[in-house]
Structure 1
Amino acid sequence: MELGISLDQLRILAIVVEEGSFSAAARRMNRSQSAITYAVQKMEAAVGVPLFDRTGYRPELTEAGSALLPRARRVVEASAVFDRQALALRDGIEPELVLVVDAMFPMTALFAVLSEFDRRFPTVQTRLYVESLGATVRTLLDGQADLGIILEMANVSDGLSACALEAIELVPVASPDHPLGRVKAPLGDDDLRDHLQLVLTDRSDLTKGHDNGVLSVRTWRLADLGAKHAMLLAAMGWGTMPFHMVEGDLQSGRLVELELERWPKQLRRPTIATAIAHRLDRPPGPAGAWFFRQMAGLDPR
């Protein structure tokens, strides 16, 4: 059986409690006090029990009122969310934004933009995938993501529209307990060849057969950057890592930077170019376009 309680009555119930009196609620809602009182009385008649105790100086919720208040607030908030979503859809704002990000990308830079995105577009549901190398591009090309933050080395397709982002600095590292970690002199290719190299890989066809930066005969291929990091810390091999991910380890001595003859660190560490991209035939909606411009530095923060 429906009680016929309106959304407006539920809103009045919540506002009376927030303001502490019928008169204060009337002022906030720009209505007469009698209109507020009448709405509460109608709701009490529909429920069949008093919702406020009016014997004191200020109205106090009864046991029944206290029980119904949280549900009333949820209904009011759900209605407000519905209104915001409907208005956003009317304005052409997409209901969802799916992102895929390469695991090497600095997440702090991403999260700063995502925080502002959530504030500006509260109705847009966001889904975030983290992949590596070609798997990031493949997710974008297959239409499983709207935008992708990808690496240049992942064979970027002509079917993508991309804008360059800041390059990622790489650093060769090993544990101080690893034989290479104890060498103080610059290491040549012959010094590295017989030591196990931990290499990031993926299962996509886009990077198949590409051995970027592989210098050792013995390699372990890992599809998870976190696992590679953990193995480096455990002295299981040597490998390159994004500098921002191991800076703390280098400062604490948990890892040491290897000086390679082919990469003199006094000149410049090697870098990987990154980009934000979308498919040419699937341009982002207003929310996605804002995110794209922010990441690319095309709009002021």
Structure 2
Amino acid sequence: MYRPKTTIEQWRILQAVVDYGGYAQAAQKLNKSQSSLNHAVAKLQSMLAVQLLEVIGRKAVLTEAGEVMLRRSRYLTQNVEDLESLAININQDWEPEIKLVVDLAFPRELLYPALREFLPQSRGSRLQVIDHVLTGTEEAINQHKADLVINMHVPKGFLGEPIATVEFLLVCHPEHVLASMPQPIDSNALAQHLQIVIKDSSLSPDEKSGWLKSENRWTVSQFDTAIDLLLQKLGFCWIPQHKVKALIDEGKLVCLPVQGSQFKQMTAFLICPTPDNKGPGTQLLETLILHHRQIDLPSSLYND
């Protein structure tokens, strides 16, 4: 029988050193001594006969081999966590806590009817509703950081149920110079002005979507802050329609006609990152959210 040379704890320590940017930071986060972390990683490298980290200045940096091994190790540690979580769900009738990650762009009012129905049936389960955006939401799926996730697309390797359509509008203040330019506005002219963008909540953001041509960009963490800046006649921004419709109707903000598109539409999906470990509380919440979904589905596939 094969006997592993390494331990799960050693791989978790390596991940922490990389994720937190060094031994000192990881030691603080893990509440361990820095020397114990150094020893664990050194022993890991010795047992494998592979150099995983090299210290450049004060920072521990992955070698090429280390990048490959670290990536594979995350699957290993996640599988162990999933296995232990499954055992907990098997040994108890109802999970004590349920984590629901929701993309910032998703209209919260579409979620509230399901939450109202969930409360009297929740058996005291604590519900965490956590806001994420862009890669941060996808990260919650890929790293199994939540029981349920509402995201604007389904990452590779997962399945999701469509629950709503989210429409985005390009808007600015009616007194902003862009609002008085000949329309439709050329995208190159648009790029000369301040763009307000929403900060990616991931620890490793990946700007792989969206119009980001403006060199002059201000980053905020919430759509509400972006709207406040727009009302101060600062910049332009893509904002979910449900957040600015009233302001547009009141004439406080205007849509910007742009060559190519002034409008984009995305579908929100409900995703369970670990369907095999789904507890009864998570199953109930998922069912209620799907019951209240606001999207047209083919009648041939879904007959209520």
Q: TM-score, normalised by structure 1?
A: 0.61
C-alpha distance 108-184 of structure 1, shift in aligned 2 (>3 A): farther
Q: Residues 22-37 of structure 1 correspond to what in structure 2 (within 5 A)? A: none
Partners of 1:132 and 1:145 in 2: how far apart? Answer: 14
* 1:125 match: 126
User: Residue 274 of structure 1 is aligned with which of 246, 268, 274?
Assistant: 268
Aligned pair count reads: 207
Q: Residues 160-175 of structure 1 correspond to what in structure 2 (within 5 A)? A: 160-175=158-173
SS in structure 2 at match of 1:270: strand
| Identity %, equivalent residues | 22
SS in structure 2 at match of 1:163: strand
User: Residue 287 of structure 1 is aligned with which of 281, 287, 293?
Assistant: 281
Query: Is 1:214–2:212 an aligned residue pair?
Result: yes
* 2:96 match: 95
Give a deviation string over 1:153-193, Cα, whole Å, max 9, x none: xx7242x3321221210100001121112346221212212
Q: Residues 22-61 of structure 1 correspond to what in structure 2 (within 5 A)? A: none
Partners of 2:274 and 2:165 in 1: how far apart? Answer: 23
Structure 2: which 5+ residue stretches go unaligned? 1-89, 294-301
C-alpha distance 95-252 of structure 1, shift in aligned 2 (>3 A): same
* 1:235 match: 233
SS in structure 1 at match of 2:272: strand
* 1:144 match: 145
- Alignment RMSD: 2.8
* 1:182 match: 180
Does the 8 A contact of 2:168 with 2:265 survive in 1?
yes
Deviation of 1:272 (Å) = 1.6
Partners of 1:207 and 1:238 in 2: how far apart? Answer: 22
Query: Is 1:263–2:256 an aligned residue pair?
Result: no
Moved over 6 A (4+): 298-301
Give a deviation string over 1:99-134, Cα, whole Å, max 9, x none: 111111000011111111112224222111111111
Does the 8 A contact of 2:147 with 2:274 survive in 1?
no
C-alpha distance 220-282 of structure 1, shift in aligned 2 (>3 A): farther
Tell me which amino acid in the other structure corresponds to 1:179.
V
Q: Residues 5-84 of structure 1 correspond to what in structure 2 (within 5 A)? A: none
Partners of 1:96 and 1:116 in 2: how far apart? Answer: 17
Structure 1: which 5+ residue stretches go unaligned? 1-88
Does the 8 A contact of 2:149 with 2:273 survive in 1?
no
* 2:251 match: 253
Deviation of 1:236 (Å) = 1.3
Deviation of 1:211 (Å) = 4.3
Tell me which amino acid in the other structure corresponds to 2:128.
R
Does the 8 A contact of 2:118 with 2:288 survive in 1?
no
Deviation of 1:261 (Å) = 2.0
Q: TM-score, normalised by structure 2?
A: 0.61
Partners of 2:156 and 2:199 in 1: how far apart? Answer: 19
